[in-house]
Amino acid sequence: MTIVDSIILGVIEGFTEFLPISSTGHLIVASEFLGLEQNAINKAYEVIIQFSAILAVVLNYRDKFTLQKVDLWAKVFLAFLPIGAVGFLFSSQIKALFDITVVAVMFIVGGILFLIVEKFFIKEDAHTTHDVEAITLKQSMIVGFAQIFALIPGTSRAGATIIGALLVGIDRKTSAEFSFLLAFPVMSAVAGYDLLKHYKDFSDANLMVLGVGFVTSFIVAYITIKLFLKFLERFTFVSFGLYRILFGVALLLFFN
């Protein structure tokens, strides 16, 4: 992996991690185009850029990371449990799904779901939750079960959680914010597990490449979170649904 590869993947990870368009799917596709093998060293790199995205959430929501917010984090942890359990029990089966065709199909399916939810299930006057701290335990659990679908490559963790949140009466912006916070335990668990599994590979990795990827991913993720929330103050998720469908179709045509 070169410095240029590192910057490209860092930008992709930082930009797509918190948007409902699947960071994993984009990284798989980008790696294919760049001719990068999914070897141990490149896996170590992915751990680094995921960790930097986690730090972007912490910095953006540093006021939420206090002992006074224990009730909020109890809900976040509750929403984390379903994907944590399913991911741990079926990790080998999930890895078998990592394929361009699966990614493409799930991009299309997710895009169609966003269009359906926006068209038939969202009524502005029906939203009952406008603050992330007002989310109930029941709502958080439903969002947690929706997040399980994110284990299928191309689905998008952010997309699954946001759709789940929208369907239980949480408004668009608050749905995105809860998804950001929920990324903290999910990505920490994934990055921590991968770090333990691949820590020996860091000694063989180019530290300059890792450092560039870390900084790039962090900066892009931090900015993306802020811009995404601004976007949702004025627009819906329809554009993301259309993008997912077009991108999925393009993948099917290009790789098949």
pLDDT per position as a tens digit, 46-89: 777 888 988 999 999 999 999 999 999 999 999 999 999 998 88
Q: How far are the Cα atoms of 57, 78, 122, 123, 132 from residue 62, in angstroms, in the given order?
A: 8, 20, 30, 32, 14
Please tell me what DSSP assigns to residue 64: G
Tell the burial category of 63 from Cβ atoms under 10 Å away from its Cβ (0-12, 13-18, 19+).
exposed
Which one is predicted more confidently, 108 or 23? 108
Lowest mean pLDDT among 35-39, 177-181, 209-213, 242-246: 35-39
Per-position DSSP letters for 6-18, written without gaps between them: HHHHHHHHHHHTT
Average pLDDT over residues 163-180: 94
Q: What is the largest CA-CA distance in the chain?
A: 56
Output the pLDDT for position 180.
95
Q: What is the pLDDT of residues 127-160, one digit of tens each?
A: 678 999 999 999 999 999 999 999 998 899 999 9
Lowest mean pLDDT among 201-210, 223-232, 235-244: 201-210
Q: Give the predicted TM-score (pTM) of the model.
A: 0.91
Nearest Cα neighbor of 178 from 62, 25, 61, 100 is 61
Q: What is the residue-averaged pLDDT of the chain?
A: 89
